[in-house]
């Protein structure tokens, strides 16, 4: 009767949200461990993915940040470290001197290819107990939460 613990004092709704946070942190840890073997961190890997999927393998630093929900100030350091390791190039946009363009290098592309298989295997293990219907249902629910939190965050900073 006496023994209390953290989980018991959370409301059910709070448990749901904290579970999502914990799942995300676990997953980031899983992937970070893989990426580190290739010299990349989780956000660095994601920048490369965005550039790889962009036209000509390049994009504005601000656009990459917008896609990843990473603030501009944070992108500067991330991009500099990626450049130092030669995964990307940084160059000025001739058409607008304010703009910094990021471009993935051959080394960056090669590294992504080498990571791909191991990363996909990990995701398959994580989701192995889910049917396609399960995954669709889960994704739809998560999307609702993303929309709600995005709206809340906009309202709070305005």
Q: Where does this chain bind a copy of itself (CB under 8 A)?
A: 2-6, 8-17, 19-30, 33, 49-50, 52-55, 67, 69, 120, 122-130, 134-135, 137-139, 141-146, 148-150, 152-153, 156-157
CA angle 143, 114, 88 (to 5 degrees): 80
Contact 40, 32 (CB under 8 A): no
**Residues facing 60 on adjacent strands:** 101
Closest CB to DNA among residues 10, 42: 42
Could you tell me the smallest distance in angstroms from the CB atom of residue 114 to DNA? 18
Shortest Cβ distance from residue 28 to DNA (Å)? Answer: 7
Return the number of the residue (9 or 97) whose C-beta is nearest a copy of itself. 9
Distance CA 6, CA 140 (A): 29
């Amino acid at each position: 009767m006496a023994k209390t613990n953290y989980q018991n004092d959370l409301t059910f709704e709070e448990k749901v949200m904290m579970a999502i946070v914990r799942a995300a942190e676990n997953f980031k840890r899983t992937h970070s461990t893989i990426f580190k073997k290739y010299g990349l961190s989780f956000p660095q890997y994601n920048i490369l993915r965005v550039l790889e999927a962009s036209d000509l393998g390049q994009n504005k630093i601000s656009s990459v940040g917008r896609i990843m929900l990473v603030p501009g100030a944070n992108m500067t350091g991330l991009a500099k470290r990626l450049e130092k390791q030669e995964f990307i190039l940084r160059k000025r946009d001739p058409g607008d001197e304010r703009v910094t363009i990021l471009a993935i290098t051959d080394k960056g592309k090669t590294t992504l290819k080498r990571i791909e298989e191991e990363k996909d295997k990990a995701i398959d293990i994580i989701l192995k107990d889910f049917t396609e219907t399960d995954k669709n249902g889960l994704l739809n629910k998560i999307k609702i939460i993303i929309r709600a939190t995005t709206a809340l965050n906009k309202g709070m900073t305005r």
